[in-house]
Amino acid sequence: MNKERLVLIGNGMAGMYTIEEILKQEPDRFEITVFGKEPHPNYNRILLSSVLQGDSELKDIVLNDYDWYKEHNITLYTGDEVTRIDTNNKQVESAGGIVCAYDHLIVATGSNPFMPPIPGSDKEGVISFRDIKDTETMIEASKKYEKAAVIGGGLLGLEAARGLLNLNMETEVIHLQDQLMERQLDPNASKMLKRELENQGMRFHMEKQTEQIFGRKRAQGLHFKDGESLYADLVVIAVGIRPNIGLAENSGLKTNRAIIVNDFLETSAPDVYAVGECAEHNGIAYGLVAPLYEQGKILAERLVSKEPAGTGYQGSLTSTKLKVSGVDVFSAGEFGEADDLKSVLVHDDFDGVYKKVNIRDNKVVGAVLFGDTTDSPKLLNLINKKEDISEVGKGIILPSESNAPMESPVVDMANEETICGCNGVCKGEIVSAINEKGLTSVNEVKQHTNASRSCGGCKPLVSDLLNATLGDGAAVNEVEPLCGCTDLSHEQVIEEIKAKQLSHTREVMNVLGWKEPEGCSKCRPALNYYLSVSKPEEYEDDYASRFINERVHANIQNDGTYSVVPRMYGGVTNSDQLRKIADVAEKYEVPLLKLTGGQRIDLLGVNKEDLPAIWGDLDMPSGHAYGKSIRTVKTCVGEDFCRFGTQDSIGMGMTIERKYERLNTPHKVKMAVSACPRNCAESGIKDIGIVGLEGHWEMYVGGNGGVDLRGGELLGKMNSDDELLDAISAFLQYYRESAHYLERTSHWIERVGLDHVKAVVLEDEEERANLIERMEVSLEHKGEDPWKELTYNEKKKQELFEQRKVELV
């Protein structure tokens, strides 16, 4: 039987979700062809900000990789935009000259960033923030330039600004309105957000209209309508989006603001459908992911059943639950002011919490939450159900504000109530999947239901639902598998390595029944790390299992060149080191020298074949800017120079860095030592932050200056230098032994709990001593710097040079 030909224009989230829903219902029904404008498989656009920060790469946010398309017999054309739809002959034509016939056509072309007609917006250095290419452009700009301006104080603009701050750029946000995120927040919540972001380092220019972007070839700044100016090396425009309907218009489809569709996502042309941001239903074009997925589910049912099922798509209640620069935010429905509205308000400036629930005719019609979004599932369901609340108190509307012990909101939720708003997955679907398929982990629920697949904000609810469904005492596995090559979690793999005395990556794969005998790029480095921690005295590093950056001791850049960062202990240097760096820069024609946020000098644009010789000429240890290891120990000038300093921060920072350099860790570890509570070394947002006070040190842990901004928490007070070093050793060793590979200390602390870490690292004297002892063993066997031998043995220097040259080439 001939399959029906289904063509999808647009390889984004809405269109591919529709395809996934079709495959769930009838996997062999259609011959599917997908055209994507971008040269990538389908990726999660919501997580672009994590790539901008550097916490993720493109491969980490891919939703469906190339193997998935092959597995489902889908023909995928990436980097090839459809330029024509012939609705009479039912075929499409691409820019690459491909002509493809269809029986059913889905148009999912999404949106384009709105670029206002500002004179100078066509200059170099002016970009939008919409796709992975924009993200990569911003990352590259941050390596060359220092100051950025973001036009737009909505969600997208603030995400871009946070990412640029994390890339060590001075960042100014320009917003036309008098409040940030005015579409999602009321004035009070917006004011609190602005204050929090200012504390993080953003600067705002409110009620400012950009009149011109000035500069010659490249943007150099902005002129405002009120006559003021602002200098900037990079201008990011993030003021909104517009449906991408050019193809539809040229093909004769009926459009307004977007492509007009009915309740079953049908356009004005037979067998042509539209879904996502390019579709307009009842005069509304949605830009949030949850409505787009609701549309995708309806369209999948329509295509599979041929006859319309149910009432079709009836529009969506727009709700937003997100994290803006580390702050939880939720809004839904009508959260503004009106004469016929009554409100329940909680406003706590000290704890940074704001809650507002709007009520009309005894029904909840809208809400905005800032700082604490625990009640969002309950509120969203009250708004959807339009329940009469005249007989209930504030404790029902905002359970978190009642004095009763808090239990998960999933307990009282009805089966039809939504758990995952992004993907439209209700409680009943998840419970059925848990019971019928024997699911025991969040990851398994995600794989079978799509819950928590997009932004991940509902993971705690999914976890609670697992526990509630399986009952007290059930063996609920909350940890995801290490990778797709195995069903074993990180913890299970570690335990098996210890129990079976495994000693090599291939041995682990063979003994533990890896699905892929060679493993993958995710598990090989992880196994190499776990084995090295398990047997530091005897394990021989599996060089081939390391990431490319670690193998060449430099960070690869987007143009194929490399970044070289020599170590400067505690950020301290001298004329001899500076002279060496200058000589190397001239000899090898290094294009750019830049000071890093970790108080070192970065040599950017180094050719791959020059790396061994450069390290040899530098005669300086590597700063491991590429490694999953101790990166930097940032310091302030301390008591010797600063009138506020109470401790020798430089001396302590250099001691710490020399002691722990080259130590392998689950992820990068950044440290700082400040000589007083003024915290000039930014100790409050480091993995380990030390603050000096009169007579003692304070040690903070679990900080993160990335997209998921997290302040460090006080682990304890140390009364001497030796006590401080012991605490660092115990903490680092426990992190090394119990964290997942590629898990930052911030995420590890959130997973295991600070109180638990304190109990192990500080309070259990026997375990503390054991951790310190194991750390000392690891430090003894961490080996010399891989490039140090280049400096004292000419024969060895030549041998290593030739060896590395072969590896690099």
- The span from the CA of 289 to the CA of 14, in Å, is 8
Distance of CA 360 to the CA centre of its chain: 38
Both tokens of 554, joined, read: 């430099």
CA distance linking residue 647 with residue 730, whole number of Å: 22
Q: Which two tokens stand for residue 774?
A: 């194991």
Terminal C-alpha separation, the chain: 52
Strand locations in 435-576 (E):
555-556, 562-564
SS3 for 134? helix
Bridge partners of 420, per DSSP, are 425
d(CA 178, CA 746): 34
Contact between 150 and 165 under an 8 Å Cβ cutoff? The reply is no
Return the beta strands (E) in 183-274 as ranges: 203-206, 210-214, 221-224, 229-231, 234-237, 241-243, 259-261, 272-274
Distance CA 184, CA 46 (A): 17
Write the secondary structure of 308-319 as one string of H (helix), E (strand) and C (coil): CCCCCCCCCCCE
Nearest to 657 by CA among 678, 682, 684, 629: 629
281 and 266 in contact (C-beta within 8 Å)? Answer: no
In the sheet where 272-274 sits, what is the strand order?
75-78, 30-36, 4-9, 104-107, 272-274
Amino acid at 767: E
Is 100 a known ligand-binding residue? no
Residue-by-residue DSSP string for 32-101: EEEEESSSS-EE-GGGHHHHHHTS--HHHHEEE-HHHHHHTT-EEEET--EEEEETTTTEEEETTS-EEE
Single-letter residue type at 267: T
The position carrying tokens 């400096």 is 791
Is 636 labelled a binding residue?
Answer: yes
- Counting Cα atoms < 13 Å in the Cβ hemisphere of 199 gives 15
How far apart (Å, rounded) are the C-alpha atoms in residues 215 and 782?
A: 51
520 is in an annotated binding site: no
Please give the biggest Cα pair distance in the chain. Answer: 87
- Cα–Cα nearest to 574, from 460, 497, 654, 518: 654
Q: Tokens for 637, please give them.
A: 């000038």
Q: Crossing angle, helix 459-470 and helix 442-449, to 10 degrees?
A: 100
Q: What token pair was written down for 81?
A: 């935009």
DSSP code, position 269: S
Which residues on adjacent β-strands are paired with residue 607?
Answer: none
**Helix, strand or coil, per DSSP, at residue 672:** strand
Judged by DSSP in three states, 188 sits in helix
CB atoms within 10 A of CB 466: 23
Instruction: Please check if 642 is assigned to a binding site.
Output: yes
Annotated binding site: 636, 642, 676, 680
Annotated binding site for siroheme: 680
Annotated binding site for [4Fe-4S] cluster: 636, 642, 676, 680
